[in-house]
Chain A
Amino acid sequence: MIIEKELTTKYLTVSMGPQHPATHGVLRLVLELDGETVVKCTPDIGYLHRGLEKLAENKTWPAAMTLTSRLDYCSAVANESGYCLAVEKLLGVEVPERAKFIRTMTCEMVRIASHIIWLSAHAIDIGAMTVFLYAMRDRELILDLFEMLCGARLLHIYPRIGGVRCDVDQKFLDGLWDFTEKFPKLIEEYETLIDQNRIWLQRTKGIGIVSAEEAINMGLTGPVLRGSGVPYDIRKIAPYDAYDKVEFEVPLGKNCDVYDRYRCRMEEFRQSNKIIRQCIEKLPDGLALNPDAPGLDMMPGPLKKAAPAPAPAADGTPASKVEDGPAFTEIYSATEVPKGELGYYFVSDGTGKPYRMKVRTPSFIHISALQRLCVGVLVADVIALIGTVDIVLGECDR
C-alpha cells in the first residue's frame, strides 16, 4: 500500500519537430503525452523567420514583390497576385482585362499545385505512400507549364504591378488546355486509392472536428473553414481579378472533420480546373501589362512632386508647416490563396517604398488552431491534423 502512494505518473513531453518527417518543414509541436493521448500541444514557430516584412520596407514596391513569393513557396503566383492587387489599389494603377484573366488562370494553376502538395503530404503522413507519388507526378505537369510561361517553376514572380510580366502564347494555352482535359481523370486516380479506403476513413472521419462557430472564432479561412460549412470564399464574396467573370462553386463540408476538409479540397481541384478552362475560353485580347504602371525602375523617393514650400508671410516670419511629415495612407487587401485568406496591409508614406508591410497569412492562424485541435487525440491524429490545416512554415514565420 505504501508503494502505491509513492507511485506518481507524469506526462511524457515529446518535442515533435523542428526536424520531423511530418511537421511540414520546421514546425515544432511540444506534445505532452499521457500514454499515446495528447494532453497538451504547444506549437513553437519561428524557425524559418527571415524578416520578410521588415525587408520589404527597404525595397521599392515592385522589388518587394519578390519577397512575397517566398511566403508560401508552394503557391508563389497567388501571393504575388495578392500583393500586386494591394499595391494597385494603393497606387491607383489600372490592370488590363487580359492580365486579369491571366492572373486568375495562373492563380488557379497554382491552387492545383498547392493542393497537390497538400494531398501528397497528407496522404503520406497517414501512410498512403502511392498517392504521394501519383500526385507529385502530376504536379510536374503544372510546373512544366509554369516554366513554359515564365521560366520559373516554383518562385514565379510572374505578376507585375499593373499586369503580368509577359503575355501568354498559344503554345502555353494549348498545353494548359491539354492538362485540364486529363486532370479530372488524375483526380479520380487519387480518389480510387484513398477515398473509400476503410483505413483512410477511420483515420479521417470524426477526427479534428471544428464547428462553424469555433472555426470563425479561431480565424480559420480557406478550405479549413469551408470544411466546417461556412461559405466564405473571397473569390466569391469580394471578387478580384477575373473571378466575377467565371463560374465556379464553393465546395462546403458538413461534418467539420478531417475527411470533409479532404473532400473540400478534392472538389476544389475540379473547380480550379473549371476556372482555368473558362479563363482560356474567355481570354480577351489586349495588353498584358499597363504601360503606365510603375516598372522595375521605380525609385524609392517620393512618388509625386512635393508641394512647393509656402511663401513666407509678409512680415517675414516663416510659414507654419501645414503637414508634419509625409501623408500616410493605409490599405488592406485580401485574396483567396490555396491555404486561405492572404491579406496585405500596407502603410505608405507616399514614397516608392512601403512604409510598413504586414501580411496576414493563413498558415500562422491555422497553426494556432492546432493547439486546440490536438488536445485529447492520439499521436497518430496529430499527424492527420497537421495535414488537414495545410500549413507552410515559410508563410507562417515570414
Chain B
Amino acid sequence: MDNNILYSGFYKLLGITGEPGALAMTVAALLAIVVVLVAVLLHVAYATYFERKVIGHMQMRLGPMRVGWHGLLQPFADGLKLFFKEDIFPAGCYKTVFRLAPIYSLFAALSSLAVIPFFGTFYIANINVGILYIFAISGVGTYGIIMAGWSSNSKYAFLGGMRSAAQLISYEVAMGLSLVGVMIMSGSLNLIEIVEAQQTHWYGMYLIPQFLGFFVFAVSAFAETNRTPFCLPEAESELVAGYFAEYSGMRFSLFFLAEYTAMIIMSSMSVICFFGGWTLPPFLTDAIPALNMVPGVVWFAGKVYFHIFVFYWVRATLPRYRYDYLMRLGWKVLIPLALVNIVVTSIIKYLA
C-alpha cells in the first residue's frame, strides 16, 4: 500500500505521518471502500441510463427524455421509485433465503471491486492472486441467483435459477482457461503486474497476441453477466424474468445493480487483461508524447465504457441463444479454443 493514492490521501487528510497504526489503516481502508463503491455505483446508475440511450438511438427512438435534461436524472427517479415500492413476498416463499438472495448477489458483485486497479495507484487492495479472487467471487455470485430462483416458490424463477447455475458453471471454465494465456505471458496473477507487463511490449495490449483468448473471454463475459445473446436465465419471452420474476421494489433493484456491476467488472477485467488497463500502447505514447499528460483513469474509463457499449450493441442486434446451443458453444467450441490458446502460448513462450 506504499504508493496507493487512496490511502496516502486519507493519511494526509487525517494528519498521520510516518507509519500508520492499525486503527488508521482500518479507517483508511473503510474510506477507500466507500469512495470506490460510491464511484462505481454512480457509474452503474448511469450505465442503465447509457444503455437506454444507446439502444434507444439504435432503435430510432430517444430513450429517457423527461426527467432532467435529456433524462439525465432518470436513474435517480428509477431508484427512488423502486425504493418506495411495496415490498412483496410471494405466497409460499422461503422468506429468509428470499431476503438474502439479492443481498448476496450484490455483495458478490461488489466484492470483486476490491482488487480492480482503476489506475496504477487507485485500488482498495493489491493482492497477488487478483484474477483467481475475481473468479472465485463471480462463482459465489451464482449462489445468489440459485437462492433467488429456489426461494421464490415460482416455477419460472426456479427454471431461471437452474439455467443460470448450469450456464455460469460452464462458462466459468471457459473464462478461466481463456485468461491462462495472459497469465503465461505476464507471468503473474496480480492485476497491476499484468498491466505493467503489457507495457513491456511495443503493442502494449495482450489483445493482439491473445486474440483467441480475448474472443473466448468476451463470449464468456456475455454469458457470465447473463447478457444477450446469453440472457437465458432471465429470458423475458420464455421465463418472464427468470430468477427474479417474483422480486419487486428494492430487492429487484439490488439484482439489477448486481447485474450492471458484474458487467462493469467483466469490462474492467477485459480492459486490464487484454487492453492494457489504464495505459496506452508505447508506440502511441512514443509517437504523441502529449498523451502521457492525460491521467490513466481516462483511458481506463474510456475502455470500460467502450466494452459496455459493445454489450449494449450486441443486445440491440442479436437474438437469444437456445439453452442447448449455449451449452454446446461453451463446451464444444470455447473450451477447446481456450485450450488451443494455452498450448500455443506456452510453446511460443518456451521458445522465446
Contacts and interface: CB of A to CB of B under 8 A. Distances in A.
Given A22-B238, A199-B229, A380-B238, A126 B319 contact: yes
A381 interface: yes
B60 A127 contact: no
Given A21-B237, A36-B323, A380-B238, A197 B61 contact: no
Interface in B198-231: 228-229, 231
A199 B318 contact: yes
A127 B159 contact: no
Contact of A202 (B239, B240, B322): B322
A363 B61 CA distance: 32
Interface in B263-322: 315-322
Interface stretch (A41-49, A130-138, A326-334): A130-138
Contact of B322 (A14, A128, A130, A378): A378
B319 A137 contact: no
A238 interface: no
A20 interface: yes
Contacts of A382: 238
Contacts of B239: 379
B128 interface: no
Nearest to A128: B319
A192 to B, nearest CB: 10
Contacts of A137: 60
Nearest to B166: A36
Helix, strand, loop or mixed for chain A's interface?
A: helix
B316 to A, nearest CB: 5
Nearest to A19: B240
A160 B232 CA distance: 49
B155 A14 contact: yes
A353 to B, nearest CB: 43
A130 B320 contact: no
A36 B236 CA distance: 16
A128 B237 CA distance: 11
Chain B interface extent, by class: 20 to 34
Interface string B57-71: 011110000000000
Contacts of A12: 155, 159
A383 interface: yes
B349 to A, nearest CB: 34
A130 B155 contact: no
Which residue, of A197, A202, A380, A383, has the highest number of chain B Cβ atoms within 10 A?
A380
Contacts of B318: 127-128, 197, 199
A150 interface: no
Interface in A273-326: none
Nearest to B236: A21
B244 to A, nearest CB: 15
B325 interface: yes
B243 interface: no
B324 interface: yes
Nearest to A23: B237
Given A128-B319, A199-B319, 12 more contacts: A21-B237, A36-B323, A36-B324, A124-B237, A127-B320, A130-B316, A137-B60, A199-B229, A203-B319, A379-B239, A379-B323, A380-B235
21 contacts: A22-B238, A36-B323, A36-B324, A124-B237, A126-B320, A127-B228, A128-B318, A128-B319, A129-B316, A133-B60, A133-B61, A197-B319, A199-B229, A199-B319, A203-B319, A378-B323, A379-B238, A380-B232, A380-B320, A380-B323, A382-B238
